[in-house]
Amino acid sequence: MDNKEYLKKMAKYDFDAIVIGSGPAGEGAAINLAKNKKKVAIVEKYKKVGGGCTHWGTIPSKALRHAVARIAEFQSSPLFEDLEPSSSLSFAQILKHAQSVIKKQVNVRSNFYERNRVTTIFGEASFVDEHHLSILDQEGTRTTISAENIIIATGSRPYRPEQIHFNHDRIYDSDTILSLKHNPRSIIIYGAGVIGCEYASIFRGLGVKVDLLNMRDQLLSFLDQEISEALGYHLWNSGVVIRNNEEFDRIEGTDCGVIVHLKSGKKMKADCLLFANGRTGNTDSLALDKIGLEANGRGQLEVNPCYQTSVDNIYAVGDVIGYPSLASAAIDQGRIAATTIVDGVCNQRLIEDIPTGIYTIPEISSVGKTEQELTKEQVPYEVGRAQFKSLARAHIADTTVGSLKILFHRETKEILGIHCFGERSSEIIHIGQAIMQQKDGGNTIEYFANTTFNYPTMAEAYRVAALNGLNRLF
């Protein structure tokens, strides 16, 4: 596009692109567009940037988990066994740590936009047409802005069934639980997905009695079964009561707690309830009908591989399109959509093997195929294992609970999947992920058997697992 065409276009629109939502997906899109000399605005409904990831989701829950895990380490470490036992901390007290992390993250994100000259607009956006947005700010003033392209990155929020009274002061979802003021002695967590399992670990780590209600017959069934069973055992061993194949009939809020009536006929009582069963895309306030788009029953939008909706100049990225609903992937989705806008073609894709990190206590992280998937596909694989209790670094750090499992092809020795359970799993997994991405024969388990690792480190688990696996071949 020459200068005359560009000036003509900019006389027509206020911006080259407007991004709705400042979470990971929106940030990835806006910064990439700005780096490519596009005039960009980002619209954020909340009073600060960062989106749900920063203020209610990933960042606060992981900060809470980190604080609880450190408390547990201190209490179990023989190094401090002669010290006077400290009083237990409440959920409200460790929230202060999370709030400090959120504040730092907001400052970092705000600086990104400022340095890259991205215009930040605070207010609720809704479509006027495919190029114009109406913005309602917190003072009630409404303005209209326009762009050649618009990217929807509005994220998601906890799913709230209509029959549950979330205005009751003892009934929470994963957003409102961060406003918990009292110190519960017991909690019922309805939903044993990633969020439910993470908060079960957090509350049990604080000494709260936890009942975890699972609608399925297995925790986190998308995981390798061995890892899922290990999580179930450690939650059970810590005192979490897990009830599988249960669904609620009704939930009754009382003056001092909550009673859950289950379809199985059981009744359960606790000081409070955390409902953590699914999420809904934030699309209901966008006036999508004005542009001919329609979200599905969970508020999610359908896109093509370039994250383009059925309206050519409108894209959608992040949780608002559903799977994989990971902050890490959302950043890349935003960047890919931005690159498509800049180049006019879409040659980029998300990597095939996206790592998952689950911040339970202990932590879980996986990349690639599970044993169940390989068995179903009739792939001849072998397993190499390393128990953390055999590593010197784990003894030093007192993190001996856990293991690393490498799945590899018996004939080609190609690494097919890596599954890690234990502290720092989400960090450890990236070593294996990097090797899995190697081409031209570089992705084999022999790499780990033949390379030299720093000693003592947790990364040494890869060498131990590789040798263990190779020894199984015949």
Residue type, 337: A
Mean pLDDT throughout 261-280?
97
Residue 115 lies in a domain: yes
Distances (CA, A) of 360 to 347, 365, 386, 398, 450: 36, 10, 20, 17, 32
Q: Which pLDDT does position 71 carry in this prediction?
A: 84
Measure the CA–CA gap between 181 and 133, rounded to whole angstroms.
Answer: 38
Q: Which pLDDT does position 82 carry in this prediction?
A: 63
Do residue 142 and residue 17 come from a single domain? yes
Residue 193 lies in a domain: yes
Measure the CA–CA gap between 410 and 470, rounded to whole angstroms.
Answer: 9
Q: Which pLDDT does position 87 carry in this prediction?
A: 54
Neighbour tally for 294: CB within 10 Å: 10
Neighbour tally for 84: CB within 10 Å: 6
Mean pLDDT throughout 263-286?
97
Do residue 312 and residue 441 come from a single domain? no
Residue 162 lies in a domain: no
Q: What is the pLDDT of residues 96-146, one digit of tens each?
A: 889 999 999 999 999 999 999 999 999 999 999 999 999 999 899 999 999
Q: Which pLDDT does position 79 carry in this prediction?
A: 66
Residue 4 has pLDDT above 80, yes or no: no
Do residue 33 and residue 149 come from a single domain? yes
Minimum mean pLDDT among 81-85, 90-94, 272-276: which range?
Answer: 81-85
Residue 7 has pLDDT above 80, yes or no: no
Residue 244 lies in a domain: yes
| Owner of token pair 């018996």 | 410
Q: Which pLDDT does position 231 carry in this prediction?
A: 97
CATH of the domain at 311: 3.50.50.60
Pick the more confident residue, 337 or 71: 337
Let me know if 14 is exposed, middle or buried by CB neighbors in 10 A (0-12, 13-18, 19+). middle
Q: Which pLDDT does position 261 carry in this prediction?
A: 98
At residue 357, the 3 state secondary structure works out as strand
Q: Which pLDDT does position 165 carry in this prediction?
A: 96
CA torsion sign for 89, 95, 98, 100 is negative
- Mean pLDDT, all residues of the chain: 94
Residue 325 has pLDDT above 80, yes or no: yes
Residue 216 has pLDDT above 70, yes or no: yes
Q: What one-character DSSP code corresponds to residue 441?
A: T
Q: Which pLDDT does position 92 carry in this prediction?
A: 82
Neighbour tally for 5: CB within 10 Å: 9
Mean pLDDT throughout 369-386?
98
Mean pLDDT throughout 371-377?
98
Do residue 20 and residue 143 come from a single domain? yes
Residue 381 has pLDDT above 90, yes or no: yes
| Owner of token pair 């549950």 | 164
pLDDT band at 320 (very low <50, low <70, confident <90, very high): very high
Q: What is the pLDDT of residues 58-69, one digit of tens each?
A: 999 999 999 999
Do residue 297 and residue 266 come from a single domain? no
Do residue 44 and residue 57 come from a single domain? yes
pLDDT band at 324 (very low <50, low <70, confident <90, very high): very high
Residue 164 lies in a domain: no
Distances (CA, A) of 383 to 160, 375, 392, 433, 437: 42, 12, 22, 16, 19
Q: At which of 308, 343, 378 does a domain end? A: 343
Q: Which pLDDT does position 73 carry in this prediction?
A: 79
Residue 281 has pLDDT above 70, yes or no: yes
For 201-217, letters b (16+ CB in 10 Å) and e give bbbbbbebbbbbbbeee
- Our count of domains for the chain comes to 3
Distances (CA, A) of 224 to 368, 372, 377: 10, 7, 15
Q: Which pLDDT does position 441 carry in this prediction?
A: 85
Q: Which pLDDT does position 75 carry in this prediction?
A: 75
Q: What is the pLDDT of residues 389-409, one digit of tens each?
A: 999 999 998 899 999 999 999
Q: Between β-strands 314-316 and 279-281, what pairing exists: parallel, antiparallel or unpaired?
A: unpaired
Distance of CA 3 to the CA centre of its chain: 42
Q: At which of 277, 294, 314 does a domain end? A: 277
Residue 3 has pLDDT above 80, yes or no: no
Let me know if 181 is exposed, middle or buried by CB neighbors in 10 A (0-12, 13-18, 19+). exposed
| Domain boundaries, position 214 | 171-277
At residue 319, the 3 state secondary structure works out as helix
Do residue 20 and residue 142 come from a single domain? yes
Residue type, 462: Y
Residue type, 261: H
| Owner of token pair 């000494």 | 207
The pLDDT > 90 percentage for the chain reads 87
Q: Which pLDDT does position 96 carry in this prediction?
A: 86
Do residue 392 and residue 414 come from a single domain? yes
Residue 177 lies in a domain: yes
Do residue 203 and residue 60 come from a single domain? no
pLDDT band at 91 (very low <50, low <70, confident <90, very high): confident
Q: What is the pLDDT of residues 426-469, one digit of tens each?
A: 999 999 999 999 988 889 999 999 999 999 999 999 999 999 99
Residue 250 lies in a domain: yes
Do residue 240 and residue 192 come from a single domain? yes
Q: Between β-strands 415-422 and 364-368, what pairing exists: parallel, antiparallel or unpaired?
A: antiparallel
Q: What is the pLDDT of residues 151-205, one digit of tens each?
A: 999 999 999 999 999 999 999 999 999 999 889 999 999 999 999 999 999 999 9
Q: Which pLDDT does position 1 carry in this prediction?
A: 53
Residue 348 lies in a domain: no
Do residue 69 and residue 25 come from a single domain? yes
Do residue 264 and residue 378 come from a single domain? no
